Chain A
Amino acid sequence: MRESSTLSGSEWAMDDLLAIEQFCAGHAERYGLDTFPNQMEVITSEQMLDSYVSSGLPVNYAHWSFGKHFLIESGKYQSGANALAYEIVLNTNPCIAFLMEGNSLAMQALVIPHACFGHNSFSKGNYLFQQWTQPDAVLDYMLFARNYVADCEERHGAERVEQTLDALHALRDQGLDKYKRPRKLDTRKERVEQARRLAVAQESMRQAEYYSVVPHAEKPTAAEPVFPASPEENLLYFIEKHAPKLEPWQRELARIVRKIAQYFYPQRQTQVMNEGWATFWHHRLLNDMYDARQIDQGILLECLHSHTNVIRQPEYGRLNPYALGFAAWNEIKRVCEAPTTEDREYLPEIAGQDWLKTFHDVMQNYRDESFLLQFLTPKLARDFRLMAIQTREGLDHWTVNDTAGGEGFKAIRSQLAASYRLESYIPEISVVRYGRDSDRKLVLQHQSYNGRTLHSAQTEQTLKHLRWLWGFDVTLEALDQSGRTIKTY
């Protein structure tokens, strides 16, 4: 039996989830956390795996690769190698948070503030999410995409659709307008637009047919201008607009793959900040709920146990974004409230400021790279015992360049921040020439830095897909830092 209104024990009912959400909402308001309305969905472990494979999107089109990931993930889960995430949350409006049915009451009490208030407020407030995603429209768009793909399978055969999607998926990372802001998604407009694009394509085909029977009086003699005029970094976009042989429905698929890849662009750039933010707030809100006697000590202790596991940082391992993020936000709070001389030297702009105001400002206007560059404190680097190491191609060892205690803090800070740039792990490839009026050959360039070259087997495989899409010859020139071609694929 449960005493009064304090939650205890490990069993939960639907009402308890709603109660936790209400408690959190009460406390969150005091901190000015601005959130989308929450929609908590209770799911089974199998459904959690479903969400994994489509990166949290509740609706997705059918493709074998999702089936593959499902098999791999469920195998790992069943063999006990991996535990499932307790929650998955997607930036939609309303904010959909998936909660596993197998979680204990304490786990739900941890997960709800984490997802429904932490991640929710982050994706509502952060500038990248605001610019790149449309939380109101994404579910409608996914529904459109699913139906469109199913429709294509019916019209054009599942095999051709699969082959097209395989090829497009290979170029998924090259489907971003990194500097242009995407247009707002709107399903209704999208359908109208799609019909318009189809009509334009058909019209141009008719014209081409017409001109092919009308003899030309004179041939254009001027030298072919270079096209595109400036290199195009968005390969998928270029294919959608210019691939000579694609059918209209294939262009539409290219668009769908591109739009979805784009949707995850902000998430990939804010992992440390976002997880740290959510972890900070679940920690805070849990303590508030305990102080208000809304949860009992048993729940708090179980939550703290899980919390400690989440922020564990193994030595010499990969940096745990939860641990780093949580520590970084706590450091910001400390610097605001009780700055040391060192903090005043490194972070004068926030030392002694109102911590809550600073928090919201930072959450809204930074991403991992700029966040770490700006707010990593020397104390955090010492606490984490960070060191910067370096190696060169062919060397059999790493050399320690800087350690946290000494002079090397700034070097560590900038190196750490740089490792969170997308460009540090996604190769920069752009379209430089398209022989639009001649042989229709496509020329790509890869710009490498610090001698980091493309993985040749993977590149060959990817180019095979690209050549199939393009229908004509495609070459890739790999350039070194000084602009010399080192390899041509």
Chain B
Amino acid sequence: MTSVIVDRRPDKGKSTANRQRVLKRLSGALKSQVDQLIARRKLNEHDKATEVTIERKDVSEPSFSIDPASGDSARVVPGNQHYRVGDKIPRDPAGGQGRGQGQGPGDGDDEDAFRFALSREEYLSLLFDELELPALVKKELLEIDENRFRRGGVVRYGNPGTVCVARTFKASIGRRVAAEAQFEEALEEAEAALKLARLSAEPARVQAAQLELKEVRQRGADIPFLDPVDLRHRSLIEVQSPRTAAVMFCLMDVSSSMDEARKDLAKRFFTLLYLFLTRKYAKVELVFIRHTDQAQEVDEDTFFNGTQAGSTKVLSALAKMHEIIRLRYPASQYNIFGAQASDGDSFGADSTESSAYLIAQLLPESRYFVYAEVGEASSNTPTSLWTAYCSIQSEQFNMATVKGRNEVYPALAKLFQKEQPVAYAMG
């Protein structure tokens, strides 16, 4: 009889397949959880793991079982210190099931819900599913930026896996051409010496010359086809992702016409832009400006949840943004992104003034400014702000209507597709 010990610890992730299956099964319940989380979480919290609560009824597994409340029951109970034969004990309405249930794992506890942690990837995937992101964009956002490598030409040393065959052969040809030329020269010399020796008819000299010739020939034969000095390797250089800073301005109209549904869309719009920026920039700062007819810089909570009455003046928010840029975020040190969400209402000259202000003051300082008109349009004619913004002709500007969750991404698509220009503002 032999006994053995096996260290099983390295075999990890046996439950992965089952986890994927249960998450898929729960996708409906999880989606509604994610909706609540989006409303509750701050923009910079989306990139983290989270806990969710699932109702047990969403994952119940039925089987034939006996109704604990029915019929006559009899039990044997330990630890009796109080009761005598014939005593009556009140029936516990919740318990009293005795044995019967509770045999299988997971049964036997009466909680209606259970909590578990969704990893960052799982959470973001659920978030992205609704936004209908293209697969490539999803992948880019899910990846945690680690140091990347880029090709760095050809070097002489490296590990065998990086051998560059073509360049190695090239080097080998060069070396052989050089070595053979030298060899032929030496061969001619040796042959000439042998001729001279034969002419001199001195046996010792002839022998020495013959030996020399043989040696030279051997040297020629010894020239290797490939030599360690020929080896060339592809080199990979670690690239530090640019250590740059960005600031993202969130501008939102909070007048009463912006209802909850619109704010929810706006939040998704800001979230996606923020996630995108955190992939590109080492540090992303957030500035929240809300406006009615007056603009205010506020914290995130107030931004999404606070209410304020008043009419609408977009220009006030743009001016506020410009003021903050001048005070705190010089364009030489920050990449400035503006994101504006509004229902498009504005009055009088405000829209045309805003459009002009954007072109003259903000766009020259910003890397990108995107306007999202959220929610269903109240009439068939375009809103005044939309019409005014239509006149902006700039590579750094984009606008889109976002009527549903699946339209959030198209509003930002241009930004995602755009190759980032080389000139980074260094932070």
Contact = CB atoms under 8 A, between A and B. Distances in A.
Nearest to A43: B8
Interface string B312-332: 000000000000000000000
Contacts of A400: 83-89
B77 A173 contact: no
A393 B72 contact: yes
A21 interface: yes
Given A71-B22, A425-B66, A14 B7 contact: yes
Interface stretch (B100-108, B171-179, B221-229, B281-289): B100-108
B71 A450 contact: yes
Given A406-B85, A427-B65, A387 B91 contact: no
B5 to A, nearest CB: 5
B6 A451 contact: no
Interface of A: 14, 17-18, 21-22, 25, 35, 37-44, 46-47, 49-50, 52-53, 55, 62-76, 79, 94, 98, 101, 116, 158, 162, 166, 169-174, 268, 313-319, 384-393, 395-404, 406, 408, 412, 415-416, 418-419, 424-427, 429, 446, 448-456, 458-459, 461-462, 465
Interface in B1-25: 1-9, 11-12, 14-15, 17-25
B419 interface: no
- 5 interchain residue pairs of minimum CB distance: A315-B79, A67-B22, A451-B71, A67-B18, A461-B62
A38 B80 CA distance: 42
A44 B81 contact: no
Contacts of A408: 85
A419 B76 contact: yes
Given A75-B116, A268-B103, A393-B69, A42 B59 contact: no
Interface string B112-134: 00111000000000000000000
Output the residue of B17, B69, B79, B101 with the most chain A CB within 10 A: B79
Nearest to B14: A50
A22 B3 CA distance: 9
Interface string B60-79: 11111111111111111111
Interface of B: 1-9, 11-12, 14-15, 17-25, 54, 59-81, 83-91, 98-101, 103, 105-106, 109, 114-116
25 contacts: A14-B7, A17-B5, A37-B3, A42-B5, A44-B12, A47-B11, A47-B12, A64-B22, A67-B15, A67-B18, A69-B105, A71-B19, A71-B54, A94-B4, A101-B9, A170-B61, A174-B64, A315-B80, A317-B78, A318-B98, A385-B81, A389-B76, A389-B77, A429-B64, A454-B64
A458 B85 contact: no
A62 B21 contact: yes
B114 A387 contact: no
Contact of B64 (A402, A404, A427, A452): A427
A318 B99 contact: yes
Contacts of B101: 425
Contacts of A42: 5-9
A315 to B, nearest CB: 3
A461 B230 CA distance: 74
A387 B63 contact: no
B65 A55 contact: no
A39 B77 contact: no
A71 B116 contact: yes
Given A40-B3, A49-B15, A64-B18, A458 B79 contact: no
A70 B15 CA distance: 8
B75 A388 contact: yes
Contact of A399 (B17, B61, B87): B87
Contacts of A427: 64-66
Contact of A404 (B3, B22, B61, B80): B80
B64 A70 contact: no
B304 to A, nearest CB: 30
Contacts of A37: 1-4
Contact of B65 (A18, A43, A384, A454): A454
Output the residue of A22, A35, A426 with the most chain B CB within 10 A: A426
Contacts of A41: 5-8
B80 A403 contact: yes
B73 A169 contact: no
A48 to B, nearest CB: 10
A316 B78 contact: yes
Nearest to B109: A76
A68 B59 contact: yes
B10 to A, nearest CB: 10
Nearest to B68: A455
Contacts of B71: 392-393, 448-453
Contacts of B88: 397-400
B99 A425 contact: yes
A55 B59 CA distance: 19
B19 to A, nearest CB: 5
A313 B78 CA distance: 8
A316 to B, nearest CB: 5
B101 to A, nearest CB: 8
B63 A395 contact: no
A325 to B, nearest CB: 13
Contacts of B98: 318, 419
Given A450-B72, A455-B66, 6 more contacts: A47-B9, A67-B18, A169-B61, A400-B85, A452-B73, A453-B71
A385 B76 CA distance: 10
B6 A384 contact: no
Contacts of B99: 318, 419, 424-425
B79 A317 contact: yes
A148 B112 CA distance: 34
B85 A403 contact: yes
A37 B84 CA distance: 51
B324 to A, nearest CB: 43
A39 B8 CA distance: 11
B9 A63 contact: no
Contacts of A94: 4
Contacts of A65: 22, 59, 61
A12 to B, nearest CB: 11
A425 B100 contact: yes
B164 to A, nearest CB: 40
A451 B70 contact: yes
A85 B38 CA distance: 38
Contact of A424 (B7, B9, B100): B100
B130 to A, nearest CB: 22
A314 B70 contact: no
B96 to A, nearest CB: 8
Nearest to B72: A450
A89 to B, nearest CB: 13
A462 B15 contact: no
Nearest to B25: A64
A91 B297 CA distance: 68
A39 B11 CA distance: 16
Contacts of A38: 3-4
Contacts of A429: 64
A172 B106 CA distance: 16
